[in-house]
Amino acid sequence: MMNLGSTRAAVLAACALAGCSRGPRSAEPAGPPLAPRQYEVRGTVVRLDPAASNVVIQHEEIPGYMRAMTMPFPVRDTNLLAGLQPGDTVQFRLTVTETDGWIEALETIATPRTNRLPLTGPFRLVRDVDPLEPGDRLPAYPLTNQWGRPISTTNFSGRVLVLSFIYTRCPFPTFCPRTMQQLITAWRELARLPDTAERVHFLVVSFDPEHDTPDVLRAYGRSHGAPDEGWTLATGALIEVTALAEQFGLTFWREDGGWAHNLRTAVIAPDGRIRTILPGNQWTAAELVRAVRDALEAAPSGS
């Protein structure tokens, strides 16, 4: 995580993270699954991670789907990464379904390589914050929930709090949409357990306060199946959301009008202390349920 001096301007520059921008899903009933879509995309390799079967690419705009962004893409055939280096210009075929997305074909384009990527996005004020670790207490941050009411991150004392971050216009299925689906799946599993639902709360924070108004957050939650009880979708002043996110290792920045970002989900015990921080999007709903149950079992009687 990047620590920045108090009340100074900073650019959260491009790194191996992800971002996207499109409108929230409709609350209309789901129809038949959409056929896979394919896009031919051009970009520059930023980082390779064959062990995780992905490559970070700063790609051009994908007309009709996504703004130009810097983000990691899954690669099912890691042979496609053989011989690639950061700075290579590539042309690739991106396949996207309702719940997944991956690179299916990739080739290098003979152009000069560069390791210098342009800084993008406007400056914004940030605070100097320290990273949080398991055992640390969750600080108080002022937010506004999906009903337009002021809340604090400390309002959920006495319950296990699941805290995660999204923004509603994120279209790539393996990022914010997958995070929301995993959260919903975990919630439904926990709600089936005796004497559990009332002891757990989910707090999902948007880092796009300009767009994600209470009405938008309320519609987004309902379109994903989030219940009115036991769930809060919220956002706040950008300087507050930035500080909260950075304390958990989540960074985000403007890139061609959208947000580029990574992902974090955390479990906070009833006493307000952090139990678990889940990075990225590889965790499963079952792992989250297990982390919540561990936090419940470790809580003193009566919490």
Query: Same domain for 70 and 163?
Result: no
179: which 2 tokens? 């995070």
Residue 2 covered by a domain: no
Residue 157 covered by a domain: yes
Query: Same domain for 259 and 207?
Result: yes
- Indicate which CATH number applies to the domain containing 215: 3.40.30.10
Give the whole-angstrom CA distance, residue 151 versus residue 137: 18
Residues 6+ apart with CB under 8 A from 149: none
280: which 2 tokens? 């990225």
**Range of the structural domain that residue 204 is part of:** 124-298
How many folded domains does the chain comprise?
2
268 versus 80: which is more confidently predicted? 268
- Helix (H) / strand (E) containing 160: strand 160-166
Checking if the pLDDT of 144 tops 50, the result is yes
Residue 9 covered by a domain: no
Q: For tokens 């909260």, name the residue.
A: 244
Residue 27 covered by a domain: yes
Handedness of CA 49, 52, 53, 56 (dihedral sign): negative
Instruction: Summarize the confidence of residues 229-245 as an average pLDDT.
Output: 94
Q: What is the pLDDT of residues 6-21, one digit of tens each?
A: 333 333 333 334 444 4
Query: Same domain for 161 and 41?
Result: no
- pTM above 0.75? no
- Helix (H) / strand (E) containing 233: strand 231-235
Query: Same domain for 79 and 175?
Result: no
Q: Burial level of 167, CB count in 10 A (0-12/13-18/19+)?
A: buried
CA distances from 63 to 59, 67, 256, 269 (A): 12, 8, 13, 44
Checking if the pLDDT of 27 tops 50, the result is no
Query: Same domain for 133 and 250?
Result: yes
Query: Same domain for 60 and 139?
Result: no
Nearest to 178 by CA among 270, 278, 285: 285
Residue 13 covered by a domain: no
Asked if 165 contacts 245 with a C-beta cutoff of 8 angstroms, the reply is: yes
Query: Same domain for 26 and 100?
Result: yes
Residue 60 CB: number of other CB atoms within 10 A? 15
121 versus 105: which is more confidently predicted? 105
Write down the number of H helices and E strands in the chain: 4, 17
Give the whole-angstrom CA distance, residue 172 versus residue 131: 27
For residue 301, what pLDDT band results from cuts at 50, 70 and 90?
A: low
Residue 174 covered by a domain: yes
Query: Same domain for 143 and 183?
Result: yes
